[in-house]
Structure 1
Amino acid sequence: MLYQKNWARAWLGFGLVWFLGAIALAPSNKVYQQGLVLFLWLPTLVLAWSARAVLIEAWRRQPALWVSVVLLIAWCAISLAWSSVEEPGREAKRLVYIMVFLLAFPLLAQAGTARMRHLLQLGSGLLAVGALVSIVQFYGLQGHSLIRRLYGIGEISHPILGAYVVGIAALSLLYQVPGRRGAQLGWMLALACLAVFMMLSQSRGAVLAMLLTVVIAPLWWRNRHSRLVAALALVATALAFYVVYDRISARGSSYRPEIFAAVLQMIGEHPWTGLGLGASYKVLTVGMQFDHSHNMFTHVAVELGWPGMLLWVAVWLFTLAEIVRARHTPLGKLLLGLWIFSTLAMQFDAASLTATPRAEWFISWLVVGLVMLLPWGRAENDACGKISGST
Structure 2
Amino acid sequence: MSAAGRLYAAGGVLLAVMPLAMVLANRSSPLICGLAALAFLAGRWAEDAAALRRHLLGPLRTPLAGAALAFLAWALISLAWSPFPAASLRVLGEFLPTLLAAYLLACLAPGRIPAFAPRLGAIAVGLAGLLIAIDLASDLALERALGRRIAAFVHNRPALTLDLVAGPLALVLWKGSARGLAAAVLGFAALGVLRSISGAAQLGLLAGAAMAALARMLPLRVGLGLAGLGLGLAVALAPVEGDLLARAMPEAAHERLVQSSSRARVAIARSFGAAVAADPWRGAGFGTSARFAETPVAQTVPPEMRVLLGVGHPHNSFLQIWAELGLPGALLAALTLMLMLARIARLTQPDRAAALGLVACAAAIAFVEHNGWAAWWTAGLGAAITWMRAASPADANERSERDGPA
TM-score normalized with structure 2 length: 0.67
- Cα distance, 1:338 vs structure 2: 0.6
Q: Provide closer, same or farther for how the CA distance between residues 10 and 68 of structure 1 changes in structure 2, counting only shifts above 3 A.
A: farther
Question: 1:73-123: CA deviations, max 9, x gaps?
Answer: 2222222233204355544444243134213322223438xx69x756643
Correspondence 1:209 to 2:204: yes
- Cα distance, 1:64 vs structure 2: 1.3
Q: Provide closer, same or farther for how the CA distance between residues 189 and 285 of structure 1 changes in structure 2, counting only shifts above 3 A.
A: farther
Equivalent in 352, 364, 371 of residue 351 of structure 1: 371
Q: Tell me if structure 2 keeps the 8 A contact 1:167–1:194.
A: yes
Correspondence 1:127 to 2:145: no
Counterpart residue type for residue 9 of structure 2: A
Q: Tell me if structure 1 keeps the 8 A contact 2:102–2:378.
A: no
Correspondence 1:73 to 2:72: yes
Question: 1:307-361: CA deviations, max 9, x gaps?
Answer: 22322232222222211111x14433321211111122221113222x4x21365
Correspondence 1:303 to 2:324: yes
Aligned residue runs from structure 1 range 114-263, under 5 A: 119=117, 122-123=120-121, 125-140=123-138, 142=140, 157-158=153-154, 160-172=156-168, 188-222=183-217, 248-251=256-259, 253-263=262-272
Q: Tell me if structure 1 keeps the 8 A contact 2:156–2:201.
A: yes
Equivalent position SS for 2:86? coil
Equivalent position SS for 2:138? helix
Distance 1:371 1:198 in 2: 20
- Cα distance, 1:253 vs structure 2: 3.5
Equivalent position SS for 1:275? coil
Question: 1:112-155: CA deviations, max 9, x gaps?
Answer: 8xx69x756643541331231222233226479xxxxxxx9999
Q: Tell me if structure 1 keeps the 8 A contact 2:173–2:181.
A: no
* More RCO (CA 8 Å, sep 6+): 2
Q: Provide closer, same or farther for how the CA distance between residues 382 and 264 of structure 1 changes in structure 2, counting only shifts above 3 A.
A: closer
Counterpart residue type for residue 86 of structure 1: A
Q: Provide closer, same or farther for how the CA distance between residues 378 and 314 of structure 1 changes in structure 2, counting only shifts above 3 A.
A: farther
Query: Which residue of the partner structure matches residue 35 of structure 2?
Result: 38
Counterpart residue type for residue 307 of structure 1: P
Counterpart residue type for residue 105 of structure 2: A
- Cα distance, 1:382 vs structure 2: 8.7
Query: Which residue of the partner structure matches residue 86 of structure 1?
Result: 86
Counterpart residue type for residue 346 of structure 1: A
Question: 1:6-57: CA deviations, max 9, x gaps?
Answer: 234334433433544422234x73x654444433246537856541122233
Counterpart residue type for residue 69 of structure 1: A
Correspondence 1:319 to 2:340: yes
Query: Which residue of the partner structure matches residue 342 of structure 1?
Result: 362
Distance 1:156 1:174 in 2: 27
Q: Tell me if structure 1 keeps the 8 A contact 2:68–2:336.
A: yes
Counterpart residue type for residue 195 of structure 2: L
Q: Tell me if structure 2 keeps the 8 A contact 1:21–1:124.
A: no
Q: Tell me if structure 1 keeps the 8 A contact 2:121–2:169.
A: no
Equivalent in 288, 291, 299 of residue 281 of structure 1: 291
Bigger mean CA offset, 294-303 vs 194-203: 194-203
Counterpart residue type for residue 67 of structure 1: G
Bigger mean CA offset, 84-93 vs 287-296: 84-93
| Unaligned stretches of 5+ residues in structure 1 | 145-151, 224-244, 384-391
From the two aligned structures, give the one with the greater helix fraction.
2
Equivalent position SS for 1:86? helix
Q: Tell me if structure 1 keeps the 8 A contact 2:33–2:102.
A: no
Distance 1:35 1:213 in 2: 25
Distance 2:342 2:175 in 1: 31
Q: Provide closer, same or farther for how the CA distance between residues 336 and 344 of structure 1 changes in structure 2, counting only shifts above 3 A.
A: same
Q: Tell me if structure 1 keeps the 8 A contact 2:16–2:118.
A: yes
Counterpart residue type for residue 135 of structure 1: A
Query: Which residue of the partner structure matches residue 106 of structure 1?
Result: 107
CA RMSD, 1 decimal: 4.3
Query: Which residue of the partner structure matches residue 379 of structure 1?
Result: 396
**Paired residues, number:** 341
Distance 2:70 2:349 in 1: 29
Query: Which residue of the partner structure matches residue 387 of structure 1?
Result: none
- Cα distance, 1:299 vs structure 2: 1.0
Distance 2:353 2:307 in 1: 45
TM-score normalized with structure 1 length: 0.69
Q: Provide closer, same or farther for how the CA distance between residues 193 and 263 of structure 1 changes in structure 2, counting only shifts above 3 A.
A: same
Equivalent position SS for 2:372? coil
Distance 1:35 1:137 in 2: 23
Distance 2:389 2:186 in 1: 26
Q: Identity, % of aligned pairs?
A: 20
Distance 1:366 1:158 in 2: 21
Correspondence 1:264 to 2:273: yes
